[in-house]
Structures are given as C-alpha cells and as structure tokens.
C-alpha cells in the first residue's frame, strides 16, 4: 500500500508596491486630547458672543443669541458668562445652562466672578447684586448712597469677601459683600490733585497688600499720565511681584 503524501500550500504573498509613499502620521487631532487652546479670546457683538483660539485667531465656538444686546462677557473655567438686559446668562459649549435675573428689574452693566460669587452692577451704578454662581441663589444686594455711582469693581486677592468699587466721581469704597457693609471710603479729594476729582476708568490687581497705599500710588500714576499725554487713561496694568514698579 502506497504511503500518503501531505502537500503544504503557502498562502499567496501580496506584491509590494514600490511606488507607494509612506505616510505614518497624518492625524490632526484625536478624541483623547484633553489639552485645549493655550490662549482663548472671548468677544461679543450685539446679541451674540464668540470664542476664538488666540494663537491663529481661529473661531472655536459661536454662542446663541441673547435676549438683548450683550453688555459684558467673562470666562470662568469652562463656562462663558454674558450680561444681557437684566440677565446674567451662563453657557457651556454654546448651550445655556441657567441664568440669574436682577430682582430690581434694571439692566446689568458689568460683572465680577470670584470664588463661588457672581457680582453684577446695575446700569445706573446704584446697586450691586450678589448671586451664587453655581446655584443662581440670590445672596445679597448692595445699595450705594450719598451720590456714589459705581462704575468699576475689583476683588483684591488678599481681602476675603471684600470688593473695591470705583465711582464716576473719582471716589472708591471697600465693601464686605457677605455682611453688605461699607468698610472704608476713599474720597476723591484725597486721591486726586484735581479739585472736583476725576472719573475712575480702570482698576487692576496689584501685588501690594496695603489697599490705601495702592490707591494713593495709582492716582499719582494716573495724574502723571494725564499731565504728560493730556489724555484720559482708560486701561491700566501693573508688573508681576518680581518686578519693580
């Protein structure tokens, strides 16, 4: 009896394509990328706002129209805030997640976000409204008296629950927003060399801890700039702590 023979057949091999170019990496982005743009710019025009990538000025996102013209915008981590009429509207990825409404019914002109607080000024500068920015719960209302019209506000980094308000007549007030009390008033006559004071047009954070000395120094800078350029100063910035002023 003849022995059985086993035949092994090799699978066909693919022919190499000599003219095919190698392109091992062609991905532009991937789902696991958690790093966003290093510089983000938030702008508004009319009722809409837009988010831009600051490096190449590429458009990232356009938000929906607000109920009225937007008067102020702010970025808070992954959230976008916009003021429109009496509303402070909170967005995430272009979708509204909630809003806080001025109980006085007047329009809101500017806002300040720090900690868990959302602080907004009424358009007439007579009141400041405080909400919890996460729950939209109303926390308090500040009313300015004696002709003080708030135009700008700043939270000093080293002052717990304190906000500095600047008025259109050149004076400033330091408030505790938790107790709704005015702690100190900086008179315009003590800050400015001008007889009737001068409107405050900008506030910024400083490495200095002493608020009184800081205010006196800022007014010296503003008065010098005014006398040198004969123009009103509308924007101000200070160097970081490691640099000399």
Contact, 160 vs 209, CB < 8 A?
no
Tokens found for residue 37: 């743009």
Which tens digits make up the pLDDT trace of 52-99?
998 888 999 999 999 999 999 999 988 999 999 999 999 998 999 999
Kindly report, residue by residue over 183-196, the tens digit of the pLDDT.
Answer: 999 888 777 666 56
pLDDT at 182 over 90: yes
Calpha distance 76→42 (Å, rounded): 11
236 pLDDT tier (thresholds 50, 70, 90): low
Q: Which of 216, 243, 245, 219 is nearest to 233 (CA)?
A: 219
Distance (Å, rounded) from C-alpha 93 to C-alpha 124?
32
Which residues sit opposite 142 in a β-bridge?
A: 128
CATH classification number, 38-143, choose in 1.20.1090.10, 3.90.550.10, 3.30.70.960, 2.130.10.10: 2.130.10.10
Give the tens place of pLDDT for each residue, 119-130: 999 999 999 999
Q: Residue 232: which region, alpha, beta or left (left: phi > 0; alpha: psi -120 to 50)?
A: beta
| Distance (Å, whole) CA 14 – CA 154 | 71
What residues does CATH 2.130.10.10 cover in the chain? 38-143
- What average pLDDT does range 202-228 have in this prediction? 61
Please enumerate in sequence order all residues whose Cβ is within 8 A of that of 109, keeping only pairs 6 or more positions apart, or say none: 71, 72, 83, 120, 121, 122, 123, 125
Which helix (H) or strand (E) segment is 84 a member of? Answer: strand 79-84
Region 151-176 average pLDDT: 90
């Amino acid at each position: 009896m003849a022995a059985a023979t086993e035949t092994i057949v090799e699978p066909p091999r693919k022919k190499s394509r000599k003219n095919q170019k190698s392109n091992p990496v062609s991905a532009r982005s991937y789902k696991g990328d958690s790093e966003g743009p290093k510089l983000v710019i938030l702008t508004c025009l009319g009722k809409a706002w837009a988010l831009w990538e600051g490096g190449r000025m590429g458009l990232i996102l356009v938000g929906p129209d607000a109920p009225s013209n937007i008067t102020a915008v702010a970025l808070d981590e992954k959230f976008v805030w916009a003021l429109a009429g009496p509303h402070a509207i909170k967005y995430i990825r272009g979708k509204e997640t909630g809003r806080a409404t001025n109980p006085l019914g007047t329009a809101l002109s500017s806002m300040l976000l720090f900690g868990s607080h959302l602080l907004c000024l009424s358009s007439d500068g007579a009141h400041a409204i405080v909400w919890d920015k996460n729950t939209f719960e109303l926390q308090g209302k500040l009313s300015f008296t004696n002709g003080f019209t708030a135009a700008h506000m700043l939270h000093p980094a080293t002052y717990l629950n304190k906000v500095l308000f600047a008025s259109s007549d050149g004076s400033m007030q330091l408030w505790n927003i938790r107790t709704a009390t005015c702690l100190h008033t900086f008179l315009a006559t003590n800050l400015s060399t001008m007889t009737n004071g001068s409107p405050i047009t900008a506030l910024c954070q400083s490495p200095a801890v002493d608020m009184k000395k800081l205010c006196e120094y800022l007014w010296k800078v503003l008065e010098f700039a005014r006398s040198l350029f004969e123009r009103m100063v509308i924007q101000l910035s200070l160097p970081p702590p490691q640099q000399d002023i």
